[in-house]
Each structure stands twice: as C-alpha cells, then as structure tokens.
Amino acid sequence: MSQELFTNLAIFVLSLLVGFEVMSKIPATLQTPMMSGANAIHGVVVVGAFVIAAEANSALFYVLAFLGAFFAAVNVAGGYTVTDRMLGMFDRKPAAKKGEAEQK
C-alpha cells in the first residue's frame, strides 16, 4: 500500500469515528435540521467538481464536468439555505413579528 493511500485511509477511519462520537444523543427536535445540515456538508463534493473541470479536455469530459458542477452546486447551495431557514425558525423570539413568517 502506498503512503498516500494509507494516509487517506487513516483520515477516513478517524473521521468516521469523529462522526459517530459527535452525533450521539441528538435531541429528536433537532434531527430533521441535523440531517439537512449533514446533507449540506456533503456538498463539499463541489471541490471535486472544480478539480475535474480543470482537467477536462474533450467533449465527454466537458459534459461530465458540467454535470458534476451543476449537481454539486445544487447540493451545497440548496443544503445550506434550507438548513438555515429551518434553524432560523427555532431562533425566532416568541413575540416575533408575523411578517417574517409570511414573507415566503
């Protein structure tokens, strides 16, 4: 096994453990926003979309790069927006003005 692969594998395994650790005992109230928040984080795949676009050099590769960029951008932009909207509702003070709820 190459050094590079070993390093990546170690990072992968340890990140899994961090994920398990940080997620235990989430109050039920927050499970929906938490799922959505985790969903936004895998939008980091957008970094990979940049990487492949930089290497594209033929029609097939341009198409793949376009799909990657489009898919990843939907995930990351939509994911953070909807999570923030949801959590903003918990943030609201009890006496919040009605306007905020109605603006959508």
Least distance between another protein and beta carbon 76 (Å)? 6
Query: What is the C-alpha separation between 11 and 15, in angstroms, rounded?
Result: 6
Least distance between another protein and beta carbon 104 (Å)? 7
Dihedral (CA of 17, 18, 19, 23) sign: positive
């932009």: which residue's tokens? 77
